[in-house]
């Protein structure tokens, strides 16, 4: 019998050491860098092997020495560096209605236009799955209700004609009523199947379900309203055993005159959205009337802002129509504000060093862009041959991508504003108005530099509030090795997400909304803010309505409401579970799924989170409606929203 070799010594090479940790499943933070991927599955392991090797290749052969040095010194982080050698872009808002109308080819046969809503939503799943393999980020439908409404109508017509053939004693009105009832049933079944597909079909070599989002809420037609209603009902009902659906990330678009107040045509659907998010954490809420979104709105669905689930926003455009349709982010790179603050120590020097690293990030984004545009359309057959990406319709297989990719965005990101402020002046922007104003000045400066880069290079540079998942702990762990554990700065396992007030800081919900709302308009590449609620919010949707309206009043672009959603795998109970299931009294923690939001999306099992995000979640405080005197004094922050 041949004995398997025993690996007795850890490799010294950093790449081989990472591969060894993947084989052993010994480094949770490495194999679960992305909580949406099962890093211990065969395909998850293969993906991580490829990821680590590709990152090594990019660092060795594709980045300038100054950029590599800044990365190694923990000042900057190019996201999805493992995909850089492939030339992929991050994400896209897919024109679902146009693709369904024209038909499409996944590479294995042509799909003609569907004739009913069941087929249309099945094809919507396939489009998501196909395009997921073309890009390294998420996929989204910006006008889900508007795009699918014609297929709801086709379904109605089919039922109406069938009933007319077999029933002669009904009036036209009675026949139409019966046809709409059957259409309603079909739309629910189609929505139910779509939600199940989004949580079960796999892409990227079987390693993960597609990372997908849908935007909806403003179609006031009978067909569009039926689609919105049934998608919310199917989401509220949950999956086969009552599980909370993780995908699609759902974004309900708020618009005054359409769904904002009682008496408006879709206000009832907004109320259903509140009930659904109270049970399932989705939908999130976007705000068309926000000052920086309203400027693009011309009354057409295409002009409504659309977000990716995590936060990405693509609207401004130097090369065509300013909307989200058929466009996305090309890549983004984040700056470690905390380390800059720790290595400078005073505000003046901080800004000098910040400019230095912004220059390097711009350089790196341009270098990556120059590689991306040299790729050919044939390398991304679905994305550029099916009309998914703007200005790709006329490309031949051998054409390069300059004209198409200039429609996308290049984003400068940042992390740890709160800790940087603590390092500079001893308090963060939740504690002090001076810190708040300095935080605004820092973010304003980064936005100004992004705008300057856009003008200089004639490309769509933007500033994004980084969705820090793996990066949240990576930056911190390395800085702890250099600076130790500094109270309020490096003492925790994570840095605070972008401009957010620290999750552990006690603050009223209204004050958090006021202070974070002032940063949304600055981060034109994407932003999100959360409110943490306690208890069973399904019994108090009026409070949720107040939170959403307060977000709107404070110029939010995109927000969500977090609260505990747990599920007992023994009996299927879904709700709040403390130590034991209130239904079957199961007290085995291994049989309790705790659904939580990680950066904008949900994860059905927190065991898949990396250690930094688990630590961050454990320290999240609930945002109360009562306040201390100090909170009351700080509630005047909302008046300071300029960059002057």
Q: pLDDT tens-digit profile of 290-318?
A: 999 999 999 999 999 999 988 999 999 99
Asked if residue 148 lies in contact with residue 218, where contact means CB atoms within 8 angstroms, the answer is no
Q: Which residues contact 186 (CB under 8 A, 6 or more apart)?
A: 116, 117, 118, 155, 159
In degrees, rounded to 5, the angle at the alpha carbon of residue 497 between the alpha carbons of residues 494 and 499 is 135
The mean per-residue pLDDT over the stretch 361-371 comes to 97
Q: Which position has the token pair 């994570």? A: 494
Cα(480)–Cα(74) distance, rounded to whole angstroms? 11
Cα(615)–Cα(492) distance, rounded to whole angstroms? 8
DSSP for residue 26: -
Cα(329)–Cα(285) distance, rounded to whole angstroms? 21
List the end-to-end C-alpha distance of the chain, in Å, as a whole number: 77
Backbone angles phi, psi at 356, to 5 degrees: -60, -45
Asked if residue 68 lies in contact with residue 38, where contact means CB atoms within 8 angstroms, the answer is no
Q: Quickly state the pLDDT bin for 623 (edges 50, 70, 90).
A: confident
Reference 76, options 59, 91, 61; nearest CA is: 59
Backbone angles phi, psi at 87, to 5 degrees: 75, 10
pLDDT exceeds 90 at position 239:
yes
- Interval 521-553: pLDDT, tens: 999 999 999 999 887 888 899 999 999 999 999
Mean pLDDT over the full length of the chain? 89
Q: Quickly state the pLDDT bin for 609 (edges 50, 70, 90).
A: low
Q: Say what the pLDDT of residue 467 is.
A: 82
Q: Quickly state the pLDDT bin for 1 (edges 50, 70, 90).
A: very low
CA dihedral 130, 135, 137, 142 (to 10 degrees): -60
Cα(335)–Cα(419) distance, rounded to whole angstroms? 13
- Interval 91-139: pLDDT, tens: 999 999 999 999 999 887 899 999 999 999 999 999 999 999 999 999 9
pLDDT exceeds 70 at position 181:
yes
Cα(94)–Cα(599) distance, rounded to whole angstroms? 22
The mean per-residue pLDDT over the stretch 341-360 comes to 97
HSE-CB for 237 with a 13 A CA cutoff:
15
Whole-number percent of the chain with pLDDT over 90: 72
- Interval 564-597: pLDDT, tens: 888 888 888 888 888 899 999 999 988 888 887 7
Q: Say what the pLDDT of residue 631 is.
A: 43
Q: Which residues contact 22 (CB under 8 A, 6 or more apart)?
A: 30, 31, 39, 45, 48, 49, 52
Q: Quickly state the pLDDT bin for 326 (edges 50, 70, 90).
A: very high
Q: Quickly state the pLDDT bin for 51 (edges 50, 70, 90).
A: confident
Q: Say what the pLDDT of residue 103 is.
A: 96
Q: Quickly state the pLDDT bin for 643 (edges 50, 70, 90).
A: low
What pairs with residue 596 in β-bridges? 603
Two structure tokens written together for 159: 């039922």
Of 16-20, 165-169, 591-595, which range is least confident? 16-20
Cα(88)–Cα(83) distance, rounded to whole angstroms? 6
Asked if residue 89 lies in contact with residue 135, where contact means CB atoms within 8 angstroms, the answer is yes
SS3 260: coil
Q: Say what the pLDDT of residue 615 is.
A: 61
Sheet with 76-78, strands from edge to edge, namely 76-78, 329-336, 409-415, 460-465
SS3 625: coil
> Cα 542 vs. chain centroid, distance in angstroms?
26
Asked if residue 91 lies in contact with residue 139, where contact means CB atoms within 8 angstroms, the answer is yes
Q: Quickly state the pLDDT bin for 192 (edges 50, 70, 90).
A: very high
pLDDT exceeds 80 at position 637:
no
pLDDT exceeds 60 at position 319:
yes
Two structure tokens written together for 450: 């992004």
Cα dist from 94 to 215, 216, 539, whole Å: 11, 14, 36
Q: Which position has the token pair 């306040």? A: 627
Q: Quickly state the pLDDT bin for 11 (edges 50, 70, 90).
A: very low
Q: Say what the pLDDT of residue 626 is.
A: 46
DSSP for residue 324: S
Full set of structural domains in the chain with CATH: 15-62 (no CATH), 63-91+324-527 (3.20.70.20), 92-308 (3.20.70.20), 564-625 (no CATH)
- Interval 433-448: pLDDT, tens: 999 999 999 999 999 9
Q: Which residue has the higher pLDDT, 30 or 507?
A: 507
pLDDT exceeds 80 at position 177:
yes
């Amino acid at each position: 019998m041949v004995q398997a070799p025993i690996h007795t010594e850890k490799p010294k090479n950093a790449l081989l050491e990472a591969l060894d940790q993947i084989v052993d499943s010994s480094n949770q933070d490495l194999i679960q860098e992305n909580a949406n991927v099962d890093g211990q599955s065969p395909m998850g392991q293969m993906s991580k092997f490829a990821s680590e090797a590709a990152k090594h290749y990019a660092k060795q052969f594709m980045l300038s020495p100054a950029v590599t040095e800044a990365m190694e010194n923990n000042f900057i982080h190019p996201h999805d560096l493992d995909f850089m050698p492939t030339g992929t872009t991050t994400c896209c808002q897919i024109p679902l209605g146009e693709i369904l109308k024209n038909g499409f080819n996944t590479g294995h046969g042509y799909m003609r236009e569907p004739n009913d809503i069941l087929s249309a939503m099945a094809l919507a799943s396939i489009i998501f799955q196909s395009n997921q393999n073309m890009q390294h980020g998420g996929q989204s439908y910006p006008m889900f209700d508007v795009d699918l409404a014609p297929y709801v109508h086709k379904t109605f017509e089919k039922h109406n004609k069938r009933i007319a053939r077999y029933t002669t004693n009904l009036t036209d009105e009675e026949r139409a009523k019966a046809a709409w009832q059957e259409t309603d049933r079909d739309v629910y079944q189609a929505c139910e199947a779509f939600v199940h597909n989004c949580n079960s079909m796999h892409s990227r070599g079987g390693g993960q379900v597609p990372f997908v989002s849908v935007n909806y809420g403003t179609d006031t037609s009978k067909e569009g309203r039926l689609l919105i209603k049934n998608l919310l009902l199917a989401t509220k009902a949950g999956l086969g055993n009552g599980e909370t659906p993780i995908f699609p990330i759902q974004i309900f678009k708020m618009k005054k005159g359409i769904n904002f107040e009682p008496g408006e045509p879709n206000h009832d659907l907004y109320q259903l959205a509140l009930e659904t998010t109270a049970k399932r954490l989705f939908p999130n809420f976007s705000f068309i009337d926000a000052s920086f979104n309203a400027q693009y709105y011309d009354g057409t669905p295409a002009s409504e802002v659309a977000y990716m689930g995590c936060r990405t926003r693509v609207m401004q455009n130097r090369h065509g129509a300013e909307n989200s349709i058929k466009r996305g982010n090309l890549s983004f790179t984040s700056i470690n504000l905390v380390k800059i603050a720790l290595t400078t120590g005073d505000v003046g020097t901080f800004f000098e060093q910040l400019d230095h690293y912004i220059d390097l990030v711009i350089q790196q984004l341009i270098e990556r862009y120059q590689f991306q545009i040299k790729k050919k359309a044939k390398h991304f057959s679905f994305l550029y041959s099916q009309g998914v990406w703007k200005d790709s319709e006329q490309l031949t297989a051998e054409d390069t991508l300059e004209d198409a990719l200039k429609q996308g965005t290049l984003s400068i990101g940042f992390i740890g504003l709160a800790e940087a402020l603590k390092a500079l002046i001893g308090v963060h922007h939740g504690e002090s108005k001076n810190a708040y104003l300095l935080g605004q000045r820092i973010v304003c400066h980064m936005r100004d530099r992004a705008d300057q880069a856009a003008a200089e290079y004639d490309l769509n540079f933007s500033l994004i509030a980084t969705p820090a998942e793996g990066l949240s702990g990576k930056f911190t762990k390395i800085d702890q090795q250099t600076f130790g554990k500094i109270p309020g700065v490096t003492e925790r396992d994570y840095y605070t997400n972008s401009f957010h007030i620290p999750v552990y800081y006690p603050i009223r919900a209204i004050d958090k909304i006021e202070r974070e709302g002032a940063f949304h308009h600055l981060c034109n590449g994407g932003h999100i803010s959360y409110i943490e609620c306690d208890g069973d919010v399904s019994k108090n949707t009026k409070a949720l309505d107040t939170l959403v309206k307060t977000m709107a009043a404070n110029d939010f672009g995109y927000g969500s409401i977090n609260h505990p959603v747990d599920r007992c795998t023994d009996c299927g109970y879904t709700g709040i579970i403390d130590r034991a299931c209130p239904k079957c009294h199961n007290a085995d923690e291994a049989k309790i799924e705790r659904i939580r939001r990680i950066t904008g999306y949900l994860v059905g099992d927190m065991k898949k989170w990396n250690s930094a995000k688990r630590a961050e979640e454990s320290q999240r405080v609930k945002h109360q409606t009562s306040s201390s005197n100090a909170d009351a004094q700080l509630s005047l922050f909302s008046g300071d929203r300029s960059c002057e």
